[in-house]
Amino acid sequence: MVTSVAPMVTSVAPRVESLASSGIQSIPKEYIRSQEELTSVGNVFEEEKKEEGPQVPTIDLKEIESEDPQVRERCRQELKKAATDWGVMHLVNHGISDELIQRVKKAGQKFFELPIEEKEKFANDQVSGKIQGYGSKLANNASGQLEWEDYFFHLIFPEDKRDLSIWPKIPSDYTEVTSEYARELRRLASKILSALSICLGLEEGRLEKEVGGMEELLLQMKINYYPTCPQPELALGVEAHTDVSALTFILHNMVPGLQLFYEGKWVTAKCVPNSIIMHIGDTIEILSNGKYKSILHRGLVNKEKVRISWAVFCEPPKEKIILKPLPELVSETEPPLFPPRTFDQHLQHKLFKKTQDGLSN
């Protein structure tokens, strides 16, 4: 009897990139998802071409601060409808230059083009709690399943909370470009939070204040690198989840992969040029007492093209703020849908629930 021996043992989780480039024809069992999860996992390029059925809305922000109150209000109402109905949207005319966005993408791409041993110099150590840096997912659910992706994770704003020592040194403009993007994105987050507040009948600065304001709202960037996969119909780049953030902003390299669970079906997001995808996260869903939605989503992979996305999670501080539905949005007919929790308690609650779900499957 011949027993197969693993070719090498590493102290870190094997990088998905090295698995993908090793020439394997079938993926290791820990990457194979359950039958239930694989419902409607099809060819993502075919899925993206579909014109029938619901489509993720595109919101034009050009007039969000228009001098004309009627024009401004129309723009806000469109944003409100997308946040209420979908909780995700393509933002166009968002005010961040395409030139800067291309530079951000190029810098991240250059880092991931480095040999794996170079990237390992920036490896995180999740077990010891050092979560910033280069990594791959460790199994954090009872089923022990893994996702078909590697990533680079780091806090990019406020600037005084960054740890630049773990940021990529190659390419040389990485820090400059990413810092500029973080500042622009922070401005955009304020603009969005302001409009979302007004649409709930609150003061303009209310939601921003509730998530920590300029000093405390953290912007965490995760560059997701999804290598090509020999059996994309069995794997997921990212399993189904909702974001815990207040808002999430996503760029990608125009390779489809994002799917949203809308009205009981998985809908594949189109690749919209010069857009930023924005998710409403759990934090805003809680504060708005469920008026704004945090939508379940996942990432598919494919055989032909590497997919890269740049997700920036705008998160409140872990302990300082109690997240609960705002009193103005609660009444006898609309009781609070969520119990009071800190952001950290909300995270732990989700993790615990996921573990329980894994054990019961």
* 319, 342 Cβ separation under 8 angstroms: yes
Which residue of the set 241, 270, 324, 354 is catalytic? 241
CA distances, 74 to each of 30, 67, 208, 237, 308 (Å): 48, 12, 22, 37, 34
Q: Is residue 194 part of a domain?
A: yes
Domain range for 34 is 25-360
Q: Is residue 246 part of a domain?
A: yes
Active site residue 243: yes
Q: Is residue 326 part of a domain?
A: yes
Residue 127: its pLDDT value, please? 83
Q: Is residue 207 part of a domain?
A: yes
Residue 273: exposed, middle, or buried by beta-carbon count in 10 A (0-12, 13-18, 19+)? exposed
Question: Model-level pTM?
Answer: 0.94
If we measure between CA atoms, which residue out of 297, 336, 253 comes closest to residue 86? 297
Alpha-carbon gap, residue 47 to 257, rounded angstroms: 9
Active site residue 293: no
To which residue do tokens 């099809």 refer? Answer: 42
Residues in the chain, how many?
361
Question: Domain tally for the chain?
Answer: 1
If we measure between CA atoms, which residue out of 117, 112, 95 comes closest to residue 150? 112
Active site residue 222: yes
Q: For position 185, which CATH number holds? A: 2.60.120.330
Tens-digit pLDDT string for the chain (361 aa): 444 433 333 344 579 999 999 999 999 999 999 998 988 898 999 999 999 999 999 999 999 999 999 999 999 999 999 999 999 999 999 999 999 999 999 999 999 999 999 999 999 998 888 899 999 987 655 567 899 999 999 999 999 999 999 999 999 999 999 999 999 999 999 999 999 999 999 999 999 999 999 999 999 999 999 999 999 999 999 999 999 999 999 999 999 999 999 999 999 999 999 999 999 999 999 999 999 999 999 999 999 999 999 999 999 999 999 999 999 999 999 999 999 999 999 999 988 777 666 655 5
Active site residue 90: no
Q: Is residue 283 part of a domain?
A: yes
Q: Is residue 248 part of a domain?
A: yes
To which residue do tokens 């460790």 refer? Answer: 138
Q: Is residue 217 part of a domain?
A: yes
To which residue do tokens 């600065």 refer? Answer: 205
* 318, 299 Cβ separation under 8 angstroms: no
Residue 264: its pLDDT value, please? 94
Q: Is residue 10 part of a domain?
A: no
Which residue of the set 137, 222, 270, 305 is catalytic? 222
Which residue of the set 243, 252, 279, 293 is catalytic? 243
Residue 277: its pLDDT value, please? 98
Residue 195: its pLDDT value, please? 98
Residue 360: its pLDDT value, please? 57
